[in-house]
Structure 1
Amino acid sequence: MGVHKVLFWSAFGIAVRVWQLGIEKRPFFNRGSLWAYPLFGGIGGSFGYWMMGVEERQQAILAARRQSLLEKRARRDQLENQEP
């Protein structure tokens, strides 16, 4: 389905934590701050899950709009072919 997107955003969250520690010039694996990696990964994963839902809703809206336009074109072509 879209598990790769959730995994990507989880990894992105962890990368943000590593980047943050790099900016602060702190050690990456300090025993007192290891709890932050799952937190950042979880926040990133939840964002990815939310984005997956947004994308599914947008795809449904676009598919409905596309179908509506195709039906409208078919009706127009049918009316143009009936007139002569």
Structure 2
Amino acid sequence: FSTTSAEHKLLVIGAPEPWSVREKLCLATSVMKSGDQNWVSVSRAIKPFAESGRPPDWFSQKHCASKYSELLETTEAPK
């Protein structure tokens, strides 16, 4: 039984919690205002809207960019 370091991390800390609808809306709104190249501004703008109990790096630049990319993949384009 061998695991990769990423799999081991998930086993140790558990699967990450999903973002709330509110957090996703704040992310999308912030990206609309700041653009998808300015993750410093996006991250800073949405930190006040975190659900209680979120770790300090929940809205890190990398996590925001990753979640936004995931949102784009799972959202249908308007018709």
Please state which structure has a larger fraction of its residues in helix. Answer: 1
| TM-score where L is the length of structure 2 | 0.29
- Taking structure 1 as the reference length, the TM-score comes to 0.28
Rg comparison, structure with higher value: 1
